[in-house]
Every structure is written in C-alpha cells, then in structure tokens.
Amino acid sequence: MKSSDIQRNPLARKAGSGCLGCLWQVGVTIALGCVLLMAMIGVFHPWAFYLGGKFHILPYWQGWGIAHAKSGDYLFYVRLEPSMRSSRMYLSTNLGGDSYVCTPRGEKIRLKLGGGMRRHLNLSTDGEAISLYMHYWPWNANFKNDDSPRLELRGHWRNPNLLMDDHSSIARAFQPDGTVYHGSGANRPYITEIVPITLVPGSYSDFSAACDHARH
C-alpha cells in the first residue's frame, strides 16, 4: 500500500501502528510488574537491599569462593535473594537463586540454589546464620531424573562475606578424582571431611575467570 493510500485511509494507519502499541503496553506491564515486585520485597524483606552490609538497589547478593577438599579445589558461585515461595524450613526466611560449582577438572556445573535464614531479620544480617542447598540444574532439568551433584553450605554472615563449610557434601557429591558421584547417598557416610569456604562479594565473571585460570 502506498503512503498516499494510508493517508486517505485512517483504518490502515491504525492497523500499522497496532504492533508498536502492543509492544508499548507490554513494556509498561513488565515495568509495573518489576516495580510491584521490588515494593513487595521492600515491605516483606527489606534486609535484602542490605545483604553484605551496604545498601544496593537490587535485592540480592552474589559472591564466590574456593573450597580446598581432599579431592581438589572446588570453586563456588552463588547469587541469593529472598524467595516469595513458602519456606521448606520451619520458621525460616526462604531464599532462592542460582549457583555454579567449578570442579577440580575445570567443569562448570550449573546448580539451582535454595536456603534459609531465621524469620524477622533486621536490616543488617551480620552474624546471622544461613544455610544453602544446591543441586544440578541444566537447561533441560525438567526432563532429567538425576540432580547430582547435591551440595550444602552452612555458616553465617560476617559482612561483607559468608563464612561457611560444606557439611561434608563435597565428599558425598564427588568421587576422589573430582568427578560427580551418581550413586545413592545411602551408600556413603554422611559426615566425613568437612571443608571450610569463605564466599566474598564478586560476580559470575570473576568466578568464571578463576575457574578458567584453575584449568591451566
């Protein structure tokens, strides 16, 4: 259709601008949804904006660290935030997020993260106990039955860091050569080597660079 035809036909002009109008409405809806979510977190979980000891505009904390186990060095990356889902831990604040572990073989494994802290937290979480649990979560996780490795970190905040240990989960989740153990957890001792780890503030790119460097 020529531009002159569109000028003579107002219905054609309206149809031509319909897609842009829809995109604008979708953008506004998404923006309002984000504002509403941030407002809800501000009301129910205001401490999320102060994780690590300083105010930040986004309500999450991310960091990484190295666990020196007998089977080798394991690098962990975590990004944690309050979860609006009901807590699986009694009288605790539910946490969610993402995590990665870099094995001694240089393999980066994506993990789904959950955890908890006590309810009714103050703005400062310094000194507060925290527990995190993680399991294998690839892009097609919904079609896989095996969620190994399954890992735990337990400890407390010492702002701006997290001082934790693995509660023997590395020894349960990995073989002595650093490969993932896919057998039943019932076939292994629950508590053996307990490995300390300190998570310091940092991004996924910091973690990834450290993992790549460890390969060489």
Q: Is 201 exposed, middle or buried (0-12, 13-18, 19+ CB in 10 A)?
A: middle
Q: Is the dihedral of CA 81, 84, 85, 90 positive or negative?
A: positive
* Cα–Cα distance for residue pair 147/167, rounded to 1 Å: 18
Both 31 and 15 in a single domain? yes
Q: Average pLDDT of 97-119?
A: 95
Both 76 and 137 in a single domain? yes
Higher pLDDT, 141 or 146: 146
- Residue 16's pLDDT is 46
Both 11 and 57 in a single domain? no
Both 27 and 114 in a single domain? no
pLDDT range class, residue 194, cuts 50, 70, 90: very high
Answer yes or no: is pLDDT of 171 > 90.
yes
- Residue 6's pLDDT is 44
Both 54 and 32 in a single domain? no
Both 105 and 162 in a single domain? yes
Q: 3-state SS string over the chain? A: CCHHHHHHCHHHHHHHCHHHHHHHHHHHHHHHHHHHHHHHHHHHCHHHHHCCCCCCCCCCEEEEEEEEECCEEEEEEEEEEECCCCCCCCCEEEEEEEEEEECCCCCEEEEEEEEEEECCCCCCCCCCEEEEEEEECCCCHHHCCCCCCEEEEEEEEECCEEEEECCCHHHHHECCCCCECCCCHHHCCCCCCCCEEEEEECCHHHHHHHHHHHCC
Q: Average pLDDT of 140-161?
A: 90
Structural domain boundaries enclosing 34: 3-43
Both 70 and 92 in a single domain? yes
Q: What is the mean pLDDT of the chain?
A: 84
Residue 60: closest CA among 40, 80, 35, 36: 80
Both 20 and 89 in a single domain? no
| Residue 97 near residue 204, CB atoms below 8 Å | no
Answer yes or no: is pLDDT of 170 > 90.
yes
- Residue 35's pLDDT is 56
Per-residue pLDDT tens for 174-189?
999 999 999 877 778 8
Per-residue pLDDT tens for 54-90?
999 999 999 999 999 999 999 999 999 998 765 454 4
Both 124 and 180 in a single domain? yes
Both 20 and 117 in a single domain? no
- Residue 15's pLDDT is 47
Q: How many domains does the chain have?
A: 2
Q: Can you say whether residue 106 is alpha, beta or left, with left for phi > 0 and alpha for psi between -120 and 50 degrees?
A: left
Per-residue pLDDT tens for 23-59?
667 666 665 555 565 656 655 789 999 999 999 999 9
Both 195 and 122 in a single domain? yes
- Residue 12's pLDDT is 47
Both 107 and 205 in a single domain? yes
